[in-house]
Amino acid sequence: MARLPALVDLVSGFGCFQRIRVDQQARTLREAGMLSPSKRGTGASEVTSRDAACLLMAVLATDAAVWCPEAVGAYASLTTSRPRGKPRSDCDRAIFDALSRSKSPVDALESLVTEAARDGTDLRRVRILVMRGTARMEIRMEGEDGGDGFSFSWSPAHEEASRSRQPLASNVMGLNGYALTLVARLVLPPPAMDEEPGVSVPFAP
């Protein structure tokens, strides 16, 4: 298992997140009690899959560290809708079941990280979209060989709750499943997982 600085390095290396910003967001979340208590430097504690989910949720939801606790809290309170589509393979079923058990987007991110680490589940066809300002999130699983996949979405229970007070640098942020796989390997490294060189990690539609 890794420590928080290693997780910050990994997330900031995805391309669209500056390290100084991710580091500030991580410190703000930790001070708010949303990450595991830890010392800085060599005394830092090991991060959990929940820590990784909260940090990923924060960087996708907001650019400003000051808004991180509110943003993560807002997304953690979203309610899920019925899934669209159905799984068509055992791998897809594992992801579908993990998302079905998730009550919020933060739970879903944690479940995906845990699933990939524990069972080596292939997340490369997963796409995550976060709609800032309206506090909505969607996780899509693309079908194999271009076939039909499935998706889960989360939204506020009341329309007024969807209005964000934070300044928005981008209305939509996205991340692909290979990034989650890298996070899973760092946080909960399995005995062995094959490397996939040359795979694009983040995307921001």
> What are the residue boundaries of the structural domains of the chain, listed by start?
4-187
Count of CB atoms situated within 10 Å of the CB of 80: 18
Predicted local distance difference test score (pLDDT) of residue 161: 46
Predicted local distance difference test score (pLDDT) of residue 18: 87
In what helix (H) or strand (E) does residue 155 lie, and over which residues does it extend? strand 150-155
At residue 135, what are phi and psi to the nearest 5 degrees?
50, 55
Per-residue CA distances from 15 to 19, 86, 99, 200, 202 (Å):
10, 32, 26, 10, 7
> Are 176 and 128 contacting, i.e. CB atoms less than 8 angstroms apart?
yes
For residue 176, the SS3 value is strand
In the structure, what pLDDT confidence band is assigned to residue 190 with cuts at 50, 70 and 90? low
Of 55, 93, 50, give the one whose Cα is nearest residue 71: 55
In the structure, what pLDDT confidence band is assigned to residue 37 with cuts at 50, 70 and 90? confident
CA pseudo-torsion sign 56, 61, 62, 66: negative
Which pTM value belongs to this model?
A: 0.85
Q: What is the mean pLDDT of residues 99-114?
A: 93
State the helix-helix crossing angle for 49-61 and 177-187, rounded to 10 degrees: 140
